[in-house]
Structure 1
């Protein structure tokens, strides 16, 4: 299970809308657990992909700087997020090929009618869906 503060959940959706037809991405910050995690804040990272309409990529130096910033604020990395402006509501084959943090969450905000935010844990071999809870 992964829980989000209402503000963190909404921020991902707003960033997705603002990204238009390009994927947005960033880091989920809060408390990381083996089976349950809590997202208190989200930290956007510029999408450095050559084709941001269908891919996302975080610049490693920016990702490291943002990770240091969130840790300095007392948070842990919970995982990562990105949007699928016109894609599926689940991880793509490319998402699986590029996943590198076993045990961490990968949240995807898809825009197919209404925004949908789902989350999956990367096992090292595949994504496993996890329940998303929004704290009011």
Structure 2
């Protein structure tokens, strides 16, 4: 289970709406074990085709990780949006996932905004309940 603060959820949905029709990306910040997201850090989608995939710029990711650590928080995982797609990881999401044990959240704007979460095992995404 992942506890998602309402302010963090609202920030993710706002980011997704502002970035549409492109996918947006960011970092889930809070505490791990158990997973509790208290805030999010926006990042730039560096993908060559941002309307169909996302990519975190390595330098920006390192800066965000340093800022999270300096604030005494932990990286819980990452989020991105599916502006027109379903609330589920895509084949591309599975192929490009690299952070084993971390949460990958998706904001779907297909209908009413929804947030779902999955944990990358290193081989597959396992669903994580969002509270």
TM-score, L = length of structure 1: 0.94
- Bigger proportion of residues as strand: 1
In the TM superposition, what are the counterparts of 1:1-136 in structure 2 within 5 Å?
1-33=1-33, 36-133=34-131
| Unpaired stretches in structure 2, ≥5 consecutive residues | none
Stretches of structure 1 that go unaligned for 5 or more consecutive residues are none
Structure 1 ranges of 4+ moved more than 3 A: none
RMSD: 0.6
Tell me how many residue pairs correspond in the alignment: 131
Give the Cα separation in 1 of the matches to 2:87 and 2:20.
16
Q: TM-score, normalised by structure 2?
A: 0.98
CA distance in 1, matches of 2:75, 2:91: 23
CA distance in 2, matches of 1:70, 1:43: 9
- 1:88, distance to aligned residue in structure 2 (A): 1.7
* Cα distance, 1:112 vs structure 2: 1.1
CA distance in 2, matches of 1:21, 1:86: 8
Distance 2:5 2:20 in 1: 24
